[in-house]
Amino acid sequence: MRLALDEAARAPLTGDVPVGAVVLAEDGTVLATGHNERELTGDPTGHAEVLALRRASAARGSWRLTGCTLVVTLEPCTMCAGALVLSRVDRVVYGARDEKAGAAGSLWDVVRDRRLNHRPEVIHGVLEEECARQLTAFFRDSRGGTGESPGEGPRNGLPGR
């Protein structure tokens, strides 16, 4: 998770929300990393998880990431949860919950939906306070000191992506 936090810290340099992700091979080797790049690239799919999964697939030479673990600082959204299921990762480890958009147990539970053909193990709350603090600080600094998204109330401490 510390590597994912380091990766997340790179995102604000381009105006992106600090979310970082790391894909680990079965033996713990880092296959790929990613951080949010939506603002940098103008790509709505430029979430840390999607970028890390793409890079890990390229490194492996296969879209199937069976045996791999994705570690991410913020609970995946529905898009990212779908990508995790489709990539066949074995495990998802995340730090901070996202009560407004989380799809790994908070708002939805896409990754463990029994109707889908693959359900990765989910481990949550790893360095949760540190992950949440990084996000809250970003939104506080970028949105006039409230730590909230424009036009929204508090998000259980997390303003979202």
**Under a CB-based contact definition with an 8 Å cutoff, are residues 160 and 75 in contact?**
no
Residue 134 CB partners (closer than 8 Å, separation 6+): 5, 8, 9, 18, 73
Q: Is 75 a catalytic residue?
A: no
Distance CA 78, CA 51 (A): 15
> Per the residue annotation, which of 7, 37, 49, 75 is the catalytic one?
49
- Check the annotation: does 68 bind a ligand: no
Tokens of 96: 């901070």
Dump strand ranges (E) for 9-135: 20-24, 30-35, 69-74, 91-96, 121-124
**CB within 8 A of 29, min separation 6: which ones?**
none
Amino acid at 109: D
CB 92 within 8 A of CB 84: yes
Q: How far apart are CA 52 and CA 112, in angstroms?
A: 21
80 is in an annotated binding site: yes
Residue ranges of the binding site: 47, 77, 80
Query: Residues forming the annotated binding site for Zn(2+)?
Result: 47, 77, 80
Residues forming the active site: 49
